[in-house]
Chains A and B, each alone.
Chain A
């Protein structure tokens, strides 16, 4: 650090308290609903509407059991579905984005500018206004209400391609590619053995962004699927909440389900923090 002037040290001391308090207040604000769902999930059906929200109840295990046995374990089917849609979908989508991004970044070919522009336009097309027309398309292909109907539209991720392109430009030097070509490597080889390892941190981020996006997606599966056994957690819990209006006993299940559903992603956030290279997004603006 530079030489501290007496004035700045005093200021730094003063600057510590108020900003820290503001940040902690912010943190508490964001944690309130999470604290709520943790305590609410411990309440039995009777306690939910009668006791103060933040006092723990006695029904945690009962709620867990009830949720797991609801409709023969349907909740865990939903969890598996979420994993399939998010995991498989994002995995394949990341590969596609990596290939496309690399191609745009490190090759000169006719039509490159056009592809890039069309791609950017695709980023701005709101996903949700696409969902209903995509449904009509899937319907006419006979694919509505299948796993494909939710997986396929998530395979194309224009923003992911854009990020991959930016990242490829900054992390895969053109010289290295040129050298590999001289040594006789095929383009595919270059991509697989050179580009991908170099782009890996960026690709992991793209994967995780897409994973969270798909995991949290509500509208696409809601529109595409009518068979409950294919619902992901978001749509399933919404249905549970809706049914709960006529059968309040289901509220406790919905709350427990909500709690369990956010655990995986929260864990992902907490433990894989160092892999989140979100400076990629802000860095892309300089590109």
Chain B
């Protein structure tokens, strides 16, 4: 009962006024508790986005001639047209799509595989595998790229060293194989976290569901395919959502690998172009427009997935 947690000082007088208000919901308290979050949300999510949108509709222009100082003018949708029509930006989206097509399915596929395997009865080294596969979560993307980068470098690569010993040709990780190399870093970094999400979902499935199947003679493979995976659909959609959002934001890893590779340009991925526009060529309005486009794209994809997720979850509970 609640009484044990209260001071002895609480008296009946306060209880009287409370009793009068007992049936009414507290009005002020929830807003007071929400206030810090709301203020911060407005300041650091809404205002920056609003500012970015504002910036995307203006630009710095000179008034003809050869020399002069740039002034800010309103340019309407010009920045958006330029950004979307810019072959470099479009190419960077294409490269991102290729990278995503490699890394997302592999990450989720492996995460699912490992989660299912861990859920099998009687496997060995489960604890060890689970802990170690989760470990890359503790490594920042930039550090992971540093580590893998040195292992890709011809002169320090252990892989090429071994290949040379057995007479195989060395793999050009940093140039020809750069998509694979980048995807590998992404997979390595995120498999563990996604695996744990799927694994904890699996663990929460009551075992009675399996009993019926086992009595019917189903083996583990069929159980996984027919029961576990369908039940995992909400979690899979969630991990897909996380992975897609992560992919769209790729910045630190390609930037770090750029210092080691000849094949990563300044605008290899969209965010790199945005950063370059904002801080390299001082074209902030273009950066703002591209940022808004990216944010809208991410929002759109996320909403679509969430819709799917909601529908599936409701179907489950019905």
Is there contact, CB below 8 Å, between A285 and B234?
A: yes
Q: How distant is A192 from chain B, measured CB to nearest CB, in Å?
A: 10
Q: Is A153 an interface residue (CB 8 A)?
A: yes
Is there contact, CB below 8 Å, between A103 and B161?
A: no
Q: Is B26 an interface residue (CB 8 A)?
A: yes
Q: Is A142 an interface residue (CB 8 A)?
A: no
Q: Is A76 an interface residue (CB 8 A)?
A: no
List of A residues within 8 angstroms of B155 by Cβ: 49
The A7-58 residues at the B interface (CB cut-off 8 A) are 7-8, 11-13, 15-16, 19-20, 22-24, 26-27, 29-34, 36-37, 40, 48-49, 52-54
Instruction: Count residues of A near B (Cβ-Cβ below 8 Å).
Output: 110
Number of A-B contacts (CB under 8 A): 321
Interface segment out of the listed B60-68, B77-85, B116-124: B116-124
Binary A-proximity of B284-306 (CB < 8 A = 1, otherwise 0) = 10011001001100110011001
With CB as the reference atom, state the residue of chain B lying closest to A33: B147
Is there contact, CB below 8 Å, between A30 and B252?
A: no
Binary B-proximity of A255-287 (CB < 8 A = 1, otherwise 0) = 100100110011011100100001101110110
List of B residues within 8 angstroms of A129 by Cβ: 249, 271, 274, 291, 294-295, 298
Q: Is B76 an interface residue (CB 8 A)?
A: no
Q: Is B248 an interface residue (CB 8 A)?
A: yes
List of A residues within 8 angstroms of B191 by Cβ: 26, 30
Is there contact, CB below 8 Å, between A30 and B132?
A: yes
With CB as the reference atom, state the residue of chain A lying closest to B56: A133
A269 to B131, CA, bound (A): 8
| Chain B binding surface SS class | helix
Is there contact, CB below 8 Å, between B138 and A128?
A: no
Is there contact, CB below 8 Å, between B143 and A262?
A: yes
A-to-B contact residues, CB < 8 Å: 2, 7-8, 11-13, 15-16, 19-20, 22-24, 26-27, 29-34, 36-37, 40, 48-49, 52-54, 96-97, 99-100, 102-104, 107-109, 112, 115, 118-122, 124-130, 132-134, 136-137, 152-153, 155-156, 158, 161, 176, 179-185, 187-189, 191, 193-194, 212, 215-219, 223, 233-234, 237-238, 241-242, 245, 254-255, 258, 261-262, 265-266, 268-270, 273, 278-279, 281-283, 285-286
Residue in B22, B114, B128 whose beta carbon sits within 8 Å of that of A182 in the complex:
B22
Is there contact, CB below 8 Å, between B142 and A126?
A: no
A237 to B147, CA, bound (A): 12
Ordered nearest first, which 4 A-B pairs have the shortest CB separation? A265-B138, A187-B29, A133-B48, A279-B200
List of B residues within 8 angstroms of A19 by Cβ: 117, 120, 123
A124 to B52, CA, bound (A): 17
Q: Is B317 an interface residue (CB 8 A)?
A: yes
Beyond A23-B117, A281-B238, is A100–B36 a contact (Cβ under 8 Å)? yes
A2 to B117, CA, bound (A): 20
Is there contact, CB below 8 Å, between A109 and B136?
A: no
Beyond A49-B156, A96-B37, is A234–B143 a contact (Cβ under 8 Å)? yes
Is there contact, CB below 8 Å, between B245 and A24?
A: no
With CB as the reference atom, state the residue of chain A lying closest to B10: A184
| Chain A binding surface SS class | helix
List of A residues within 8 angstroms of B278 by Cβ: 132
The B217-262 residues at the A interface (CB cut-off 8 A) are 217, 219-220, 234-235, 238, 245, 248-249, 251-252, 256, 259
List of B residues within 8 angstroms of A125 by Cβ: 45, 49, 295, 298-299
A53 to B156, CA, bound (A): 6
Most chain A beta-carbon contacts within 10 A, residue among B43, B48, B122, B198: B48
Is there contact, CB below 8 Å, between B198 and A212?
A: no
List of A residues within 8 angstroms of B22 by Cβ: 181-182
Is there contact, CB below 8 Å, between A278 and B197?
A: yes
Is there contact, CB below 8 Å, between B151 and A36?
A: yes
List of A residues within 8 angstroms of B219 by Cβ: 8, 11
A15 to B11, CA, bound (A): 65
* New A-B contacts (4) at CB < 8 Å, excluding given A217-B140, A279-B204: A27-B128, A27-B129, A53-B158, A218-B251
With CB as the reference atom, state the residue of chain B lying closest to A82: B140
Beyond A11-B219, A262-B143, is A282–B235 a contact (Cβ under 8 Å)? yes
List of B residues within 8 angstroms of A255 by Cβ: 146, 150
What are some 18 contacts across the A-B interface (CB < 8 A)?
A: A22-B114, A23-B118, A26-B114, A29-B188, A33-B188, A34-B147, A107-B25, A126-B298, A132-B288, A156-B37, A184-B14, A234-B140, A237-B146, A241-B256, A242-B259, A269-B137, A282-B238, A285-B309
Q: How distant is A106 from chain B, measured CB to nearest CB, in Å?
A: 8
Q: Is B110 an interface residue (CB 8 A)?
A: yes
Is there contact, CB below 8 Å, between B36 and A238?
A: no
Q: How distant is B268 from chain A, measured CB to nearest CB, in Å?
A: 15
A286 to B135, CA, bound (A): 27
